């Protein structure tokens, strides 16, 4: 699980580094410009009231949820349940691996 060096994209999983939501995972639901994105997690930050974040305050992972990306591209929105599901899946599949002793380079 490496940090992404490319521009953030819709459906990408991020870890908040600064602010009130620090150390929480979220999903990018919209790119505003080259510097800001909107993020949501389906719990505290719902799709209808996302948080505007500076990209420099996020760790962007090389993991894009196709479910979230497809839903937003096709309908322009995504359910909070899908956001929660995507984040839980990411934590189970990717983060838990590092808790089992694998090397973490992120």
In terms of residue numbers, what domain contains 86? 12-98
How many domains does the chain fold into? Answer: 1
In a domain, 105, yes or no: no
Assigned domain for 3 exists: no
Please give the model's pTM, rounded to 2 decimal places. Answer: 0.86
pLDDT tens readout for residues 20-75? 999 999 999 999 998 999 999 999 999 999 999 999 999 999 999 999 999 999 99
Q: Decide: 3 and 55 in contact? Cβ < 8 Å.
A: no
How do residues 7-18 score in pLDDT, each as one tens digit? 899 999 999 999
Domain for residue 104, yes or no? no
72 within domain boundaries: yes
Q: Domain holding 46: CATH number?
A: 2.30.30.140
Burial 82-98 (b: 16+ CB within 10 A, else e): bbeebbeebeeeeeeee
Assess if residue 39 is contained within a domain: yes
Residue 4 lies in a domain: no
- Whether residue 41 lies inside any domain: the answer is yes
């Amino acid at each position: 699980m490496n940090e992404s060096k490319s521009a953030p994209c819709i459906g990408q999983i991020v870890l908040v580094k600064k602010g009130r939501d620090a150390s929480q995972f979220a999903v990018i639901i919209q790119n505003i410009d080259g510097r800001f994105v909107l993020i949501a997690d389906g719990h505290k930050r719902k799709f209808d009231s996302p948080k505007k974040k500076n990209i420099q305050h996020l760790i962007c992972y090389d993991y894009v949820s196709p479910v979230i990306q497809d839903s937003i591209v096709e309908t322009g929105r995504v359910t909070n349940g899908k956001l929660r599901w995507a984040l839980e899946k990411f934590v189970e599949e990717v983060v838990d691996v590092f808790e089992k002793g694998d090397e973490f380079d992120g």
